[in-house]
A and B are shown apart, each in its own frame.
Chain A
Amino acid sequence: MRILKLILKNLLRHKLRTLLTILGITIAVAAFGLLRTVVTAWYAGVEASSVNRLITRHSVSFIFPLPLAYRDRIIKLDGVERVTFANWFSGVYKDKKQFFARMAVDAETFFDVYPDLLVPKDQLEAFKRDRSGCIIGNQIAERYNLKIGDVMPIEGDIYPGRWEFTVRGIYTPRDKITDPSNMLFQWQYLDERVREEWPGRAGVIGWYIIQINDPEKTAIISTQIDQYFKNSPAETKTETERAFTLSFMAMFSAVITSMNVISFVIIGIILLVLGNTMIMAARERIHEYAVLRTLGFSTSHLITLIAGESLTIAILGGVIGIALTFPMAQGFEAAMPKGWFPIFNVENITLILASSAAILVGVLASVFPIQRTLNTKIVDGLRQIG
Protein backbone atom coordinates (compact mmCIF):
# COMPACT_ATOMS: atom_id res chain seq x y z
CA MET A 1 0.00 0.00 0.00
CA ARG A 2 1.25 3.45 -0.87
CA ILE A 3 -0.10 6.95 -0.32
CA LEU A 4 -1.91 6.58 -3.64
CA LYS A 5 -3.95 3.70 -2.28
CA LEU A 6 -4.89 5.78 0.73
CA ILE A 7 -6.07 8.51 -1.63
CA LEU A 8 -8.21 5.97 -3.47
CA LYS A 9 -9.62 4.59 -0.24
CA ASN A 10 -10.48 8.11 0.87
CA LEU A 11 -12.22 8.73 -2.46
CA LEU A 12 -14.35 5.64 -2.03
CA ARG A 13 -15.33 6.60 1.50
CA HIS A 14 -18.42 8.50 0.38
CA LYS A 15 -19.04 6.86 -2.96
CA LEU A 16 -22.17 8.80 -3.79
CA ARG A 17 -20.64 12.14 -2.87
CA THR A 18 -17.52 11.44 -4.92
CA LEU A 19 -19.62 10.23 -7.83
CA LEU A 20 -21.85 13.31 -7.76
CA THR A 21 -18.83 15.59 -7.59
CA ILE A 22 -17.20 13.86 -10.55
CA LEU A 23 -20.51 14.05 -12.41
CA GLY A 24 -20.80 17.77 -11.65
CA ILE A 25 -17.31 18.40 -12.98
CA THR A 26 -18.00 16.23 -16.02
CA ILE A 27 -21.09 18.21 -16.95
CA ALA A 28 -19.38 21.54 -16.33
CA VAL A 29 -16.28 20.64 -18.34
CA ALA A 30 -18.40 19.34 -21.22
CA ALA A 31 -20.52 22.52 -21.16
CA PHE A 32 -17.35 24.58 -21.05
CA GLY A 33 -15.93 22.68 -24.03
CA LEU A 34 -19.12 23.12 -26.03
CA LEU A 35 -19.37 26.85 -25.30
CA ARG A 36 -15.73 27.42 -26.19
CA THR A 37 -16.28 25.48 -29.40
CA VAL A 38 -19.20 27.72 -30.32
CA VAL A 39 -17.14 30.81 -29.52
CA THR A 40 -14.16 29.63 -31.57
CA ALA A 41 -16.53 28.73 -34.42
CA TRP A 42 -17.76 32.33 -34.35
CA TYR A 43 -14.22 33.58 -34.49
CA ALA A 44 -13.16 31.14 -37.20
CA GLY A 45 -13.77 33.91 -39.75
CA VAL A 46 -11.38 36.21 -37.93
CA GLU A 47 -8.71 33.53 -37.79
CA ALA A 48 -8.98 32.96 -41.50
CA SER A 49 -8.81 36.61 -42.42
CA SER A 50 -5.52 37.72 -43.81
CA VAL A 51 -3.45 40.69 -42.70
CA ASN A 52 -2.34 41.05 -46.30
CA ARG A 53 -5.82 41.99 -47.43
CA LEU A 54 -7.60 45.29 -46.99
CA ILE A 55 -11.30 45.80 -47.42
CA THR A 56 -12.65 49.06 -48.76
CA ARG A 57 -16.32 49.59 -48.15
CA HIS A 58 -18.80 52.44 -48.02
CA SER A 59 -18.01 54.68 -45.07
CA VAL A 60 -21.55 54.41 -43.71
CA SER A 61 -22.09 50.67 -43.98
CA PHE A 62 -21.07 47.80 -46.15
CA ILE A 63 -24.64 47.44 -47.35
CA PHE A 64 -24.19 50.63 -49.41
CA PRO A 65 -22.51 50.11 -52.81
CA LEU A 66 -19.35 51.65 -54.24
CA PRO A 67 -18.75 52.61 -57.90
CA LEU A 68 -16.74 50.09 -59.88
CA ALA A 69 -14.69 52.98 -61.20
CA TYR A 70 -12.80 53.24 -57.90
CA ARG A 71 -10.86 50.13 -58.82
CA ASP A 72 -8.66 51.85 -61.39
CA ARG A 73 -7.73 54.48 -58.86
CA ILE A 74 -6.88 52.01 -56.08
CA ILE A 75 -4.74 49.75 -58.25
CA LYS A 76 -2.37 52.63 -58.98
CA LEU A 77 -1.40 53.10 -55.34
CA ASP A 78 2.05 52.16 -54.19
CA GLY A 79 2.10 48.86 -52.34
CA VAL A 80 -1.15 47.56 -53.86
CA GLU A 81 -0.62 44.25 -55.64
CA ARG A 82 -4.10 43.26 -56.72
CA VAL A 83 -7.63 44.58 -56.41
CA THR A 84 -10.77 42.53 -56.66
CA PHE A 85 -14.32 43.07 -55.50
CA ALA A 86 -17.43 41.30 -54.36
CA ASN A 87 -21.10 41.99 -54.00
CA TRP A 88 -23.53 40.44 -51.54
CA PHE A 89 -26.31 38.61 -53.38
CA SER A 90 -28.14 36.55 -50.75
CA GLY A 91 -31.33 35.02 -52.27
CA VAL A 92 -33.14 31.84 -51.41
CA TYR A 93 -31.81 28.44 -52.42
CA LYS A 94 -34.38 25.63 -51.95
CA ASP A 95 -35.87 27.26 -48.84
CA LYS A 96 -35.19 30.06 -46.41
CA LYS A 97 -33.44 27.82 -43.92
CA GLN A 98 -30.39 27.19 -46.11
CA PHE A 99 -27.60 29.43 -44.89
CA PHE A 100 -24.47 30.01 -46.87
CA ALA A 101 -22.84 33.03 -48.44
CA ARG A 102 -23.82 33.79 -52.06
CA MET A 103 -21.71 36.50 -53.63
CA ALA A 104 -21.03 38.03 -57.02
CA VAL A 105 -17.28 38.30 -57.56
CA ASP A 106 -14.86 39.38 -60.25
CA ALA A 107 -14.09 36.14 -62.05
CA GLU A 108 -10.75 37.35 -63.40
CA THR A 109 -9.17 38.42 -60.11
CA PHE A 110 -11.07 37.03 -57.14
CA PHE A 111 -9.26 33.71 -56.77
CA ASP A 112 -5.88 35.40 -57.18
CA VAL A 113 -6.56 37.49 -54.11
CA TYR A 114 -7.97 34.46 -52.25
CA PRO A 115 -5.33 31.74 -52.62
CA ASP A 116 -6.93 30.08 -49.58
CA LEU A 117 -9.70 28.84 -51.91
CA LEU A 118 -8.20 26.07 -54.00
CA VAL A 119 -9.82 25.60 -57.43
CA PRO A 120 -8.50 23.17 -60.05
CA LYS A 121 -7.10 25.14 -62.99
CA ASP A 122 -9.41 23.71 -65.66
CA GLN A 123 -12.48 24.38 -63.50
CA LEU A 124 -11.40 27.98 -62.92
CA GLU A 125 -10.97 28.45 -66.69
CA ALA A 126 -14.40 26.94 -67.32
CA PHE A 127 -15.87 29.30 -64.73
CA LYS A 128 -14.28 32.34 -66.36
CA ARG A 129 -15.69 31.30 -69.74
CA ASP A 130 -19.29 30.83 -68.53
CA ARG A 131 -21.09 34.08 -67.69
CA SER A 132 -23.66 32.27 -65.55
CA GLY A 133 -21.19 29.85 -64.02
CA CYS A 134 -20.45 29.57 -60.33
CA ILE A 135 -17.88 28.04 -58.02
CA ILE A 136 -19.03 26.45 -54.79
CA GLY A 137 -17.27 25.27 -51.67
CA ASN A 138 -16.86 21.51 -51.24
CA GLN A 139 -19.12 21.60 -48.18
CA ILE A 140 -21.95 23.05 -50.31
CA ALA A 141 -21.32 20.47 -53.00
CA GLU A 142 -21.57 17.70 -50.45
CA ARG A 143 -24.56 19.10 -48.59
CA TYR A 144 -26.70 19.50 -51.72
CA ASN A 145 -25.09 16.71 -53.71
CA LEU A 146 -24.02 19.10 -56.47
CA LYS A 147 -21.66 18.15 -59.28
CA ILE A 148 -19.94 20.06 -62.06
CA GLY A 149 -22.55 20.97 -64.67
CA ASP A 150 -25.49 20.98 -62.23
CA VAL A 151 -27.74 24.01 -62.19
CA MET A 152 -28.46 25.95 -58.99
CA PRO A 153 -31.71 27.88 -59.22
CA ILE A 154 -31.86 30.77 -56.75
CA GLU A 155 -34.79 33.05 -55.99
CA GLY A 156 -33.39 36.58 -55.66
CA ASP A 157 -34.39 38.86 -52.82
CA ILE A 158 -32.02 41.84 -53.03
CA TYR A 159 -32.19 41.28 -56.78
CA PRO A 160 -35.68 39.83 -57.28
CA GLY A 161 -36.39 37.19 -59.88
CA ARG A 162 -35.29 33.70 -60.71
CA TRP A 163 -31.57 33.21 -61.23
CA GLU A 164 -29.85 30.11 -62.53
CA PHE A 165 -26.21 29.29 -62.10
CA THR A 166 -24.25 26.37 -63.50
CA VAL A 167 -21.67 24.80 -61.24
CA ARG A 168 -18.34 25.11 -63.05
CA GLY A 169 -16.00 24.52 -60.19
CA ILE A 170 -15.73 23.24 -56.63
CA TYR A 171 -13.13 24.77 -54.35
CA THR A 172 -11.54 23.15 -51.33
CA PRO A 173 -10.39 25.25 -48.40
CA ARG A 174 -6.62 25.44 -48.01
CA ASP A 175 -6.85 24.90 -44.24
CA LYS A 176 -9.29 24.14 -41.44
CA ILE A 177 -10.02 27.79 -40.79
CA THR A 178 -11.13 28.64 -44.32
CA ASP A 179 -14.88 28.74 -44.97
CA PRO A 180 -15.81 25.76 -47.18
CA SER A 181 -19.38 26.96 -47.80
CA ASN A 182 -19.36 29.93 -50.20
CA MET A 183 -21.17 30.16 -53.49
CA LEU A 184 -19.42 32.58 -55.85
CA PHE A 185 -20.59 33.64 -59.31
CA GLN A 186 -19.61 36.22 -61.92
CA TRP A 187 -20.37 39.83 -61.07
CA GLN A 188 -20.65 40.59 -64.81
CA TYR A 189 -23.65 38.26 -64.99
CA LEU A 190 -25.35 40.17 -62.17
CA ASP A 191 -24.48 43.55 -63.63
CA GLU A 192 -25.84 42.70 -67.09
CA ARG A 193 -29.23 41.84 -65.72
CA VAL A 194 -29.26 44.78 -63.31
CA ARG A 195 -28.45 47.09 -66.22
CA GLU A 196 -31.59 45.83 -68.01
CA GLU A 197 -34.01 45.64 -65.11
CA TRP A 198 -32.82 48.35 -62.67
CA PRO A 199 -30.51 50.63 -64.65
CA GLY A 200 -30.06 52.90 -61.63
CA ARG A 201 -28.34 50.14 -59.68
CA ALA A 202 -25.80 49.16 -62.33
CA GLY A 203 -22.05 49.57 -62.25
CA VAL A 204 -21.67 49.28 -58.52
CA ILE A 205 -20.10 46.69 -56.27
CA GLY A 206 -20.29 45.85 -52.57
CA TRP A 207 -16.69 46.11 -51.41
CA TYR A 208 -13.15 46.00 -52.69
CA ILE A 209 -10.60 43.49 -51.52
CA ILE A 210 -7.08 44.80 -51.87
CA GLN A 211 -4.01 42.66 -51.69
CA ILE A 212 -1.01 44.60 -50.42
CA ASN A 213 2.62 43.60 -50.52
CA ASP A 214 3.45 44.54 -46.94
CA PRO A 215 1.16 44.44 -43.89
CA GLU A 216 3.20 47.31 -42.41
CA LYS A 217 1.73 49.62 -45.04
CA THR A 218 -1.86 48.95 -43.96
CA ALA A 219 -2.28 52.31 -42.31
CA ILE A 220 -0.73 54.39 -45.11
CA ILE A 221 -2.64 52.69 -47.92
CA SER A 222 -5.93 52.78 -46.01
CA THR A 223 -5.60 56.50 -45.37
CA GLN A 224 -4.59 57.19 -48.97
CA ILE A 225 -7.66 55.40 -50.30
CA ASP A 226 -10.10 57.00 -47.88
CA GLN A 227 -8.53 60.45 -48.40
CA TYR A 228 -8.83 60.12 -52.12
CA PHE A 229 -12.56 59.41 -52.10
CA LYS A 230 -13.31 61.96 -49.41
CA ASN A 231 -16.06 64.39 -50.46
CA SER A 232 -17.12 62.07 -53.29
CA PRO A 233 -20.73 60.81 -53.26
CA ALA A 234 -19.53 57.48 -51.89
CA GLU A 235 -16.90 57.98 -49.22
CA THR A 236 -14.97 54.89 -48.24
CA LYS A 237 -13.70 53.18 -45.18
CA THR A 238 -10.68 50.93 -45.56
CA GLU A 239 -9.46 48.48 -42.95
CA THR A 240 -7.78 45.10 -42.75
CA GLU A 241 -9.87 42.08 -43.55
CA ARG A 242 -9.49 41.09 -39.90
CA ALA A 243 -10.87 44.40 -38.63
CA PHE A 244 -13.64 44.16 -41.23
CA THR A 245 -14.65 40.69 -40.07
CA LEU A 246 -14.53 41.82 -36.47
CA SER A 247 -16.75 44.82 -37.13
CA PHE A 248 -19.14 42.51 -39.00
CA MET A 249 -19.22 40.24 -35.96
CA ALA A 250 -19.59 43.14 -33.56
CA MET A 251 -23.28 42.82 -34.34
CA PHE A 252 -23.23 39.57 -32.38
CA SER A 253 -20.77 40.71 -29.78
CA ALA A 254 -23.26 40.66 -26.91
CA VAL A 255 -24.01 36.99 -27.54
CA ILE A 256 -20.36 36.07 -27.84
CA THR A 257 -19.40 38.05 -24.79
CA SER A 258 -22.06 36.37 -22.70
CA MET A 259 -20.96 32.94 -23.92
CA ASN A 260 -17.42 33.84 -23.02
CA VAL A 261 -18.47 34.99 -19.59
CA ILE A 262 -20.66 31.94 -19.01
CA SER A 263 -17.88 29.56 -19.97
CA PHE A 264 -15.72 31.04 -17.24
CA VAL A 265 -18.58 31.21 -14.75
CA ILE A 266 -18.86 27.46 -15.29
CA ILE A 267 -15.28 27.03 -14.12
CA GLY A 268 -16.18 29.01 -11.01
CA ILE A 269 -19.07 26.64 -10.41
CA ILE A 270 -16.86 23.56 -10.70
CA LEU A 271 -14.53 25.18 -8.21
CA LEU A 272 -17.39 25.61 -5.76
CA VAL A 273 -18.62 22.05 -6.24
CA LEU A 274 -15.22 20.46 -5.74
CA GLY A 275 -14.18 22.96 -3.08
CA ASN A 276 -17.28 22.12 -1.09
CA THR A 277 -16.60 18.38 -1.29
CA MET A 278 -12.99 18.84 -0.27
CA ILE A 279 -13.84 21.14 2.62
CA MET A 280 -16.43 18.66 3.87
CA ALA A 281 -13.87 15.87 3.65
CA ALA A 282 -11.22 17.91 5.43
CA ARG A 283 -13.61 18.81 8.25
CA GLU A 284 -14.62 15.18 8.76
CA ARG A 285 -11.02 14.11 8.82
CA ILE A 286 -9.42 16.73 11.08
CA HIS A 287 -9.08 14.05 13.73
CA GLU A 288 -7.78 11.46 11.28
CA TYR A 289 -5.20 13.80 9.80
CA ALA A 290 -4.00 14.59 13.34
CA VAL A 291 -3.60 10.85 13.96
CA LEU A 292 -1.59 10.50 10.74
CA ARG A 293 0.65 13.37 11.81
CA THR A 294 1.11 11.75 15.23
CA LEU A 295 2.32 8.64 13.39
CA GLY A 296 4.93 10.79 11.67
CA PHE A 297 3.23 11.82 8.44
CA SER A 298 4.72 15.16 7.40
CA THR A 299 3.21 18.31 6.00
CA SER A 300 4.07 17.24 2.47
CA HIS A 301 2.42 13.84 2.97
CA LEU A 302 -0.81 15.55 3.99
CA ILE A 303 -0.61 17.95 1.05
CA THR A 304 -0.14 14.96 -1.26
CA LEU A 305 -3.06 13.21 0.36
CA ILE A 306 -5.50 16.12 0.10
CA ALA A 307 -4.35 17.60 -3.21
CA GLY A 308 -4.14 14.09 -4.64
CA GLU A 309 -7.75 13.41 -3.76
CA SER A 310 -8.89 16.74 -5.15
CA LEU A 311 -6.89 16.33 -8.35
CA THR A 312 -8.08 12.77 -8.88
CA ILE A 313 -11.70 13.91 -8.78
CA ALA A 314 -10.98 16.92 -10.99
CA ILE A 315 -9.02 14.92 -13.55
CA LEU A 316 -11.57 12.10 -13.70
CA GLY A 317 -14.37 14.63 -14.21
CA GLY A 318 -12.25 16.57 -16.69
CA VAL A 319 -11.34 13.55 -18.80
CA ILE A 320 -14.92 12.29 -19.02
CA GLY A 321 -16.15 15.84 -19.68
CA ILE A 322 -13.65 16.36 -22.49
CA ALA A 323 -14.55 12.98 -23.98
CA LEU A 324 -18.21 14.05 -23.92
CA THR A 325 -17.44 17.38 -25.60
CA PHE A 326 -16.99 15.68 -28.99
CA PRO A 327 -20.39 13.96 -29.24
CA MET A 328 -22.02 17.04 -27.71
CA ALA A 329 -20.43 19.33 -30.28
CA GLN A 330 -21.53 16.97 -33.03
CA GLY A 331 -25.06 16.90 -31.67
CA PHE A 332 -25.09 20.68 -31.39
CA GLU A 333 -23.90 21.13 -34.95
CA ALA A 334 -26.52 18.69 -36.18
CA ALA A 335 -29.23 20.53 -34.28
CA MET A 336 -28.27 23.92 -35.73
CA PRO A 337 -29.62 24.99 -39.15
CA LYS A 338 -27.20 23.93 -41.87
CA GLY A 339 -24.55 26.49 -42.64
CA TRP A 340 -24.70 28.55 -39.47
CA PHE A 341 -21.27 27.36 -38.54
CA PRO A 342 -19.38 26.44 -41.70
CA ILE A 343 -16.37 25.69 -39.52
CA PHE A 344 -17.25 23.82 -36.34
CA ASN A 345 -14.35 21.95 -34.79
CA VAL A 346 -13.48 21.16 -31.19
CA GLU A 347 -10.17 23.01 -31.29
CA ASN A 348 -7.04 21.86 -29.49
CA ILE A 349 -6.99 25.14 -27.60
CA THR A 350 -10.45 24.29 -26.23
CA LEU A 351 -9.17 20.92 -25.01
CA ILE A 352 -6.12 22.56 -23.48
CA LEU A 353 -8.27 25.20 -21.79
CA ALA A 354 -10.73 22.61 -20.46
CA SER A 355 -8.04 20.33 -19.08
CA SER A 356 -6.06 23.16 -17.54
CA ALA A 357 -9.26 24.49 -16.02
CA ALA A 358 -9.96 21.07 -14.47
CA ILE A 359 -6.42 20.79 -13.10
CA LEU A 360 -6.44 24.35 -11.82
CA VAL A 361 -9.74 23.71 -10.09
CA GLY A 362 -8.32 20.52 -8.57
CA VAL A 363 -5.40 22.47 -7.14
CA LEU A 364 -7.43 25.46 -5.97
CA ALA A 365 -10.10 23.32 -4.32
CA SER A 366 -7.45 21.72 -2.14
CA VAL A 367 -5.80 24.95 -1.02
CA PHE A 368 -8.30 25.79 1.68
CA PRO A 369 -8.59 22.25 3.11
CA ILE A 370 -4.79 21.94 3.14
CA GLN A 371 -4.42 25.27 4.86
CA ARG A 372 -7.04 24.34 7.38
CA THR A 373 -5.48 20.96 8.09
CA LEU A 374 -1.98 22.34 8.47
CA ASN A 375 -3.11 25.23 10.63
CA THR A 376 -4.77 22.84 13.04
CA LYS A 377 -2.31 21.89 15.76
CA ILE A 378 -1.98 18.14 16.17
CA VAL A 379 -3.15 18.27 19.78
CA ASP A 380 -6.23 20.28 18.81
CA GLY A 381 -6.97 17.87 15.99
CA LEU A 382 -6.72 14.91 18.35
CA ARG A 383 -9.10 16.55 20.83
CA GLN A 384 -11.73 16.94 18.11
CA ILE A 385 -14.12 14.05 18.16
CA GLY A 386 -14.08 12.74 14.59
Chain B
Amino acid sequence: MAIVSVKNISKSYWRDSLEIPVLRNISFEVPEGEFLGLMGPSGSGKTTLLNLIAGIDQPTRGTITVANTDVTRLNESQLAKWRAQNIGFVFQFYNLLPVLTAFENVELPLLLSKLSKKERREHVEFSLKVVGLEDRMRHYPKQLSGGQEQRVAIARAIVTDPTILIADEPTGDLDKTSALEILDLLEQLNKEFKKTIIIVTHDPRAAEKAHIIKQLDKGELT
Protein backbone atom coordinates (compact mmCIF):
# COMPACT_ATOMS: atom_id res chain seq x y z
CA MET B 1 0.00 0.00 0.00
CA ALA B 2 1.58 3.27 -1.18
CA ILE B 3 1.65 6.00 1.43
CA VAL B 4 2.66 8.61 -1.12
CA SER B 5 1.29 8.53 -4.62
CA VAL B 6 2.44 11.12 -7.16
CA LYS B 7 0.42 11.11 -10.41
CA ASN B 8 1.28 13.02 -13.59
CA ILE B 9 2.73 15.96 -11.75
CA SER B 10 3.86 19.03 -13.65
CA LYS B 11 5.04 22.25 -12.12
CA SER B 12 5.91 25.50 -13.82
CA TYR B 13 7.00 28.85 -12.48
CA TRP B 14 6.17 32.02 -14.32
CA ARG B 15 8.64 34.81 -14.75
CA ASP B 16 6.66 37.69 -16.21
CA SER B 17 4.51 35.84 -18.72
CA LEU B 18 7.18 33.29 -19.53
CA GLU B 19 6.44 29.75 -18.37
CA ILE B 20 9.43 27.96 -16.85
CA PRO B 21 8.64 24.26 -16.60
CA VAL B 22 10.43 22.73 -13.59
CA LEU B 23 8.78 19.32 -13.29
CA ARG B 24 7.34 17.45 -16.26
CA ASN B 25 4.78 14.70 -15.92
CA ILE B 26 6.21 12.86 -12.94
CA SER B 27 4.59 9.78 -11.43
CA PHE B 28 5.82 7.43 -8.71
CA GLU B 29 4.72 5.78 -5.49
CA VAL B 30 6.35 5.40 -2.10
CA PRO B 31 5.29 2.38 -0.04
CA GLU B 32 4.83 2.79 3.70
CA GLY B 33 8.06 2.42 5.69
CA GLU B 34 10.20 3.18 2.64
CA PHE B 35 13.49 5.11 2.66
CA LEU B 36 13.55 6.90 -0.67
CA GLY B 37 16.51 8.87 -2.01
CA LEU B 38 16.03 11.58 -4.62
CA MET B 39 19.15 12.50 -6.53
CA GLY B 40 19.96 14.72 -9.43
CA PRO B 41 21.96 17.75 -10.49
CA SER B 42 21.36 21.15 -8.97
CA GLY B 43 18.33 22.85 -10.48
CA SER B 44 16.72 19.61 -11.58
CA GLY B 45 13.62 20.26 -9.44
CA LYS B 46 14.28 18.07 -6.36
CA THR B 47 13.35 20.73 -3.83
CA THR B 48 10.29 21.65 -5.86
CA LEU B 49 9.12 18.04 -5.84
CA LEU B 50 9.64 17.72 -2.07
CA ASN B 51 7.73 20.96 -1.47
CA LEU B 52 4.79 19.59 -3.46
CA ILE B 53 4.72 16.35 -1.46
CA ALA B 54 5.02 18.33 1.78
CA GLY B 55 2.06 20.47 0.79
CA ILE B 56 3.83 23.82 0.92
CA ASP B 57 3.36 24.39 -2.81
CA GLN B 58 0.76 23.31 -5.37
CA PRO B 59 1.45 21.52 -8.67
CA THR B 60 0.37 23.07 -11.97
CA ARG B 61 -1.10 19.72 -13.04
CA GLY B 62 -1.53 16.29 -11.48
CA THR B 63 -2.44 14.92 -8.07
CA ILE B 64 -0.51 13.95 -4.97
CA THR B 65 -2.05 11.61 -2.44
CA VAL B 66 -0.47 11.18 0.98
CA ALA B 67 -2.06 8.67 3.35
CA ASN B 68 -5.29 8.74 1.35
CA THR B 69 -5.55 12.53 1.35
CA ASP B 70 -5.45 14.33 -1.99
CA VAL B 71 -3.15 17.16 -1.02
CA THR B 72 -3.82 19.13 -4.19
CA ARG B 73 -7.46 19.61 -3.18
CA LEU B 74 -6.84 21.20 0.20
CA ASN B 75 -7.05 24.96 0.66
CA GLU B 76 -4.37 26.90 2.43
CA SER B 77 -5.69 26.62 5.98
CA GLN B 78 -6.56 22.93 5.54
CA LEU B 79 -3.04 22.40 4.24
CA ALA B 80 -1.49 24.11 7.26
CA LYS B 81 -3.40 21.81 9.58
CA TRP B 82 -2.57 18.80 7.44
CA ARG B 83 1.15 19.62 7.43
CA ALA B 84 1.18 19.97 11.20
CA GLN B 85 -0.14 16.41 11.54
CA ASN B 86 1.45 14.58 8.62
CA ILE B 87 4.74 16.13 7.61
CA GLY B 88 8.08 16.28 9.35
CA PHE B 89 10.35 18.60 7.37
CA VAL B 90 14.13 18.72 7.73
CA PHE B 91 15.87 21.57 5.90
CA GLN B 92 19.44 21.84 4.66
CA PHE B 93 20.12 24.84 6.88
CA TYR B 94 18.30 23.48 9.99
CA ASN B 95 16.04 26.56 10.22
CA LEU B 96 15.80 26.62 13.99
CA LEU B 97 14.42 29.79 15.59
CA PRO B 98 17.44 31.52 17.10
CA VAL B 99 15.42 33.04 19.97
CA LEU B 100 14.24 29.66 21.19
CA THR B 101 16.14 26.96 23.08
CA ALA B 102 16.50 23.44 21.66
CA PHE B 103 13.59 22.37 23.86
CA GLU B 104 11.37 25.24 22.71
CA ASN B 105 12.25 24.70 19.05
CA VAL B 106 11.20 21.07 19.29
CA GLU B 107 8.07 22.06 21.21
CA LEU B 108 7.03 24.52 18.48
CA PRO B 109 4.95 22.12 16.32
CA LEU B 110 3.22 20.78 19.43
CA LEU B 111 1.81 24.23 20.19
CA LEU B 112 -0.59 23.52 17.34
CA SER B 113 -1.84 20.36 19.04
CA LYS B 114 -4.20 19.94 21.96
CA LEU B 115 -1.56 18.36 24.17
CA SER B 116 -1.18 19.54 27.75
CA LYS B 117 2.01 21.17 28.91
CA LYS B 118 3.08 17.97 30.64
CA GLU B 119 2.38 15.83 27.58
CA ARG B 120 4.27 18.29 25.40
CA ARG B 121 7.27 18.10 27.72
CA GLU B 122 7.26 14.32 27.58
CA HIS B 123 7.11 14.29 23.78
CA VAL B 124 9.88 16.89 23.48
CA GLU B 125 12.13 15.08 25.93
CA PHE B 126 11.55 11.80 24.15
CA SER B 127 12.37 13.27 20.74
CA LEU B 128 15.50 14.93 22.03
CA LYS B 129 16.55 11.64 23.61
CA VAL B 130 16.05 9.85 20.27
CA VAL B 131 18.45 12.31 18.59
CA GLY B 132 20.81 12.07 21.57
CA LEU B 133 20.56 15.67 22.77
CA GLU B 134 18.69 15.29 26.05
CA ASP B 135 21.56 17.11 27.77
CA ARG B 136 21.36 20.13 25.44
CA MET B 137 17.72 21.04 25.97
CA ARG B 138 18.39 24.50 27.40
CA HIS B 139 20.93 25.43 24.75
CA TYR B 140 20.23 28.02 22.09
CA PRO B 141 20.98 27.17 18.45
CA LYS B 142 24.08 29.36 18.39
CA GLN B 143 25.48 27.33 21.30
CA LEU B 144 25.24 24.14 19.25
CA SER B 145 27.36 22.69 16.43
CA GLY B 146 25.89 22.31 12.95
CA GLY B 147 25.39 18.60 13.46
CA GLN B 148 23.67 19.19 16.78
CA GLU B 149 21.44 21.84 15.26
CA GLN B 150 20.38 19.42 12.54
CA ARG B 151 19.62 16.82 15.17
CA VAL B 152 17.41 19.31 16.99
CA ALA B 153 15.71 19.97 13.64
CA ILE B 154 15.13 16.24 13.24
CA ALA B 155 13.71 16.06 16.75
CA ARG B 156 11.37 18.90 15.80
CA ALA B 157 10.35 17.01 12.65
CA ILE B 158 9.51 13.77 14.48
CA VAL B 159 7.95 15.19 17.66
CA THR B 160 4.45 15.16 16.17
CA ASP B 161 4.91 11.58 14.95
CA PRO B 162 4.22 12.60 11.32
CA THR B 163 3.15 10.28 8.50
CA ILE B 164 6.30 10.98 6.50
CA LEU B 165 9.65 12.55 7.14
CA ILE B 166 10.95 14.76 4.37
CA ALA B 167 14.57 15.90 4.30
CA ASP B 168 16.04 18.29 1.74
CA GLU B 169 19.81 17.77 1.61
CA PRO B 170 20.00 17.37 5.40
CA THR B 171 23.76 16.75 5.32
CA GLY B 172 24.56 19.35 2.67
CA ASP B 173 25.99 21.82 5.14
CA LEU B 174 27.72 19.38 7.49
CA ASP B 175 31.21 17.94 7.84
CA LYS B 176 31.75 14.25 7.17
CA THR B 177 31.40 12.98 10.73
CA SER B 178 28.30 14.99 11.50
CA ALA B 179 26.79 14.02 8.16
CA LEU B 180 27.30 10.34 8.97
CA GLU B 181 25.65 10.79 12.38
CA ILE B 182 22.63 12.39 10.77
CA LEU B 183 22.37 9.62 8.18
CA ASP B 184 22.64 6.96 10.88
CA LEU B 185 19.93 8.75 12.80
CA LEU B 186 17.61 8.81 9.80
CA GLU B 187 18.30 5.13 9.15
CA GLN B 188 17.50 4.37 12.78
CA LEU B 189 14.20 6.31 12.54
CA ASN B 190 13.34 4.30 9.45
CA LYS B 191 14.27 0.93 10.94
CA GLU B 192 13.19 1.30 14.56
CA PHE B 193 10.22 3.62 14.24
CA LYS B 194 9.16 2.52 10.74
CA LYS B 195 9.13 6.11 9.53
CA THR B 196 8.64 6.64 5.81
CA ILE B 197 11.49 8.90 4.71
CA ILE B 198 12.03 10.85 1.51
CA ILE B 199 15.44 12.44 1.30
CA VAL B 200 17.06 14.65 -1.33
CA THR B 201 20.79 14.26 -1.38
CA HIS B 202 24.01 14.58 -3.32
CA ASP B 203 25.79 12.48 -0.75
CA PRO B 204 26.68 8.98 -2.09
CA ARG B 205 26.68 7.62 1.48
CA ALA B 206 23.14 8.86 1.91
CA ALA B 207 22.27 7.06 -1.26
CA GLU B 208 23.63 3.87 0.30
CA LYS B 209 21.21 4.11 3.21
CA ALA B 210 18.22 4.55 0.92
CA HIS B 211 16.29 1.53 -0.28
CA ILE B 212 15.26 3.11 -3.57
CA ILE B 213 16.98 5.87 -5.50
CA LYS B 214 15.15 8.03 -8.00
CA GLN B 215 17.11 10.23 -10.35
CA LEU B 216 15.71 13.56 -11.40
CA ASP B 217 17.10 15.37 -14.42
CA LYS B 218 15.73 18.55 -15.93
CA GLY B 219 12.42 17.93 -14.25
CA GLU B 220 12.00 14.37 -15.39
CA LEU B 221 12.51 11.07 -13.61
CA THR B 222 15.12 8.92 -15.30
Contacts and interface: CB of A to CB of B under 8 A. Distances in A.
B109 A296 contact: yes
A12 to B, nearest CB: 7
Contact of A293 (B80, B85, B107, B111): B80
Given A1-B111, A295-B89, A295-B109, A13 B99 contact: yes
A294 interface: yes
B109 A377 contact: no
A55 B34 CA distance: 94
B23 to A, nearest CB: 13
B77 A299 contact: yes
Interface in A1-43: 1-3, 5-6, 9-10, 12-13
Contact of B81 (A3, A298, A379): A298
Contacts of B51: 378-379, 382
A378 B77 contact: no
A291 B95 contact: yes
Given A2-B111, A293-B56, A298 B104 contact: no
Interface string B46-72: 001001001011000000000000000
A226 interface: no
A252 interface: no
A158 B89 CA distance: 88
A368 interface: no
Contacts of B74: none
Nearest to A300: B77
A140 to B, nearest CB: 60
Interface residues of A, number: 25
Contacts of A292: 108
Contact of A297 (B54, B80, B87, B100): B80
A382 B93 CA distance: 10
Contacts of B81: 296, 298
Contact of B89 (A10, A288, A294, A298): A294
A379 B56 contact: yes
Contacts of B83: 294-296
B193 to A, nearest CB: 20
Interface of B: 48, 51, 54, 56-57, 76-77, 80-85, 87, 89, 91, 95, 97-100, 104, 107-109, 111-112, 156
Closest 7 CB pairs of A and B: A296-B84, A9-B99, A298-B80, A378-B56, A296-B83, A291-B95, A379-B57
24 contacts: A1-B107, A1-B111, A6-B97, A6-B99, A12-B99, A13-B98, A288-B95, A292-B108, A293-B56, A294-B56, A294-B83, A294-B89, A295-B108, A295-B156, A296-B87, A296-B112, A297-B84, A298-B77, A299-B76, A299-B77, A299-B80, A378-B56, A379-B51, A382-B91
